Each structure stands twice: as structure tokens, then as C-alpha cells.
């Protein structure tokens, strides 16, 4: 059973052992479940959940407003306007194609997308590259095809979305409810049953 909770601090997720192991991309341990950012000097180091913008509802939990996801380049989808997604449940995933942890979660995420895409659910893979060759659009297109990614992918070469979410990890999941409020986050591999349960819970809300 999923318990209602408002995630208010990104580091609280880490402290709660969502991450079973962590390491820098330059010193990846075989058992690591998450890849820690080593890029963007422009990337901020504060948690996304410190946003002062909160939505308060008498029936549903208050929570931080999810930053917009925007891009000039989309794969597997026409451009998605963030405001048009209000009323849908949206899972935002930060990934980069040559991260083994990101590759490992693709089958589970694809299954979620297939299960819920016709029920008011959208999954957006925000591709925020670490290495220079991951900036090359043809390389991303090839990887999306080879890895079997079917859900929309927003190209984030300038880290605008990464910075808006103040993200630090690949892969990182932010689940946004119909009001545009972040209700659940997960960092790294695993947690698939819990993520599905949260998706179903949010789809069932008004």
C-alpha cells in the first residue's frame, strides 16, 4: 500500500537508502545503482525539492510544483507543451544513453509506459548528456533505437531541464501528479513495484 507523502528534501531520499550504492562516473563500481553527476559546471547542486512554490489542496497533499520540461528537440514524439500535460500523471526521468544504470531501467520504464500511456500517463526521458559524444543527436537517436526506448525523449544538451530540477543523478525519477505537483521521487535502479504503485495511485486521484 502506498503511503501519502510529500517529498520535501532530495537528500532525504538519499538518506532513506533509495540509493543502495553511489559512485562518481569516473570511478564506477560494478554494483553501483546510480551514477552521480560529474558534469555541468552550470548544473546546480541544490535539491529540486527546495522550491518555494507549493500547491496546497484541501483534499490532496501539498507539495512542490514540478519545474517545466522543455526542449527544442524531441524524439519519439512531437514537442510536448508542459502546460498541456496538466491533468495527466507525468514521470520525468533524467538519463544519458551511455550510463549502464540508465540502460538497466529502460525495460521497466518501457513496461510502465505501455501499461499506462492510454490511461492519462506520460513518461518523458530527459536526455542530459555527460560525455561529449552523448551530445551528438545522431548518437542519441541511434541509442534510442537500439535500446528500444519508445517513450518521448527531450534532448537536454544545455542542461536547462537538469538545472531547473536541480538534479544530480542518472537515472532519477520525478513523478508529477495531475496538478503538477511532485509526489514521488526515486534515484537509481530498482523500486519498480513502488513506482508502479504510485503511478496507479495518482491516476486514481481526481
Q: Is residue 191 part of a domain?
A: yes
Q: Is residue 127 part of a domain?
A: yes
Q: 13-30, pLDDT tens digit by residue?
A: 333 333 333 222 333 333
pLDDT at 195 over 50: yes
Q: Is residue 187 part of a domain?
A: yes
Higher pLDDT, 6 or 79: 79
Q: Is residue 41 part of a domain?
A: yes
Q: Is residue 4 part of a domain?
A: no
pLDDT at 129: 98
Q: 27-68, pLDDT tens digit by residue?
A: 333 334 666 654 433 333 333 444 446 665 558 888 899 999
Q: Tell me the C-alpha distance between 201 and 4, whole Å.
A: 9
Instruction: Measure Cα distances from 83 to 55, 73, 133 in Å.
Output: 15, 17, 32
Q: Is residue 156 part of a domain?
A: yes
Other C-beta atoms closer than 10 Å to the C-beta of 179 total: 17
Q: Is residue 55 part of a domain?
A: yes
pLDDT at 56: 59
Q: Any idea what the CATH number is for the domain that residue 80 is in?
A: 3.40.30.10
Q: Is residue 88 part of a domain?
A: yes
**Distance spanning both ends of the chain, measured CA to CA:** 19
How many domains is the chain built from? Answer: 1
Q: Which domain, by its residues, includes 143? A: 10-24+32-203
Amino acid at each position: 500500500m502506498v503511503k501519502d507523502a510529500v517529498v520535501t528534501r532530495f537528500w532525504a531520499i538519499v538518506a532513506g537508502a533509495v540509493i543502495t550504492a553511489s559512485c562518481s562516473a569516473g570511478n564506477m563500481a560494478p554494483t553501483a545503482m546510480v551514477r552521480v553527476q560529474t558534469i555541468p559546471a552550470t548544473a546546480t547542486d541544490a535539491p529540486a525539492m527546495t522550491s518555494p512554490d507549493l500547491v496546497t489542496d484541501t483534499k490532496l497533499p501539498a507539495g512542490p510544483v514540478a519545474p517545466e520540461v522543455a526542449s527544442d528537440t524531441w524524439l519519439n514524439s512531437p514537442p510536448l507543451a508542459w502546460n498541456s500535460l496538466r491533468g495527466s500523471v507525468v514521470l520525468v526521468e533524467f538519463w544519458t544513453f551511455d550510463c549502464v544504470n540508465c540502460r538497466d531501467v529502460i525495460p521497466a520504464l518501457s513496461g510502465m509506459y505501455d501499461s499506462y500511456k492510454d490511461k492519462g500517463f506520460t513518461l518523458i526521458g530527459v536526455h542530459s548528456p555527460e560525455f561529449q559524444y552523448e551530445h551528438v543527436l545522431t548518437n542519441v537517436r541511434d541509442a534510442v533505437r537500439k535500446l528500444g526506448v519508445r517513450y518521448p525523449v527531450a534532448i537536454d544538451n544545455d542542461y536547462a531541464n537538469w538545472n531547473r530540477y536541480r538534479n544530480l543523478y542518472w537515472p532519477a525519477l520525478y513523478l508529477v501528479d495531475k496538478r503538477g505537483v511532485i509526489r514521488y521521487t526515486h534515484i537509481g535502479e530498482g523500486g519498480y513495484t513502488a513506482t508502479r504503485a504510485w503511478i496507479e495511485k495518482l491516476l486514481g486521484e481526481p
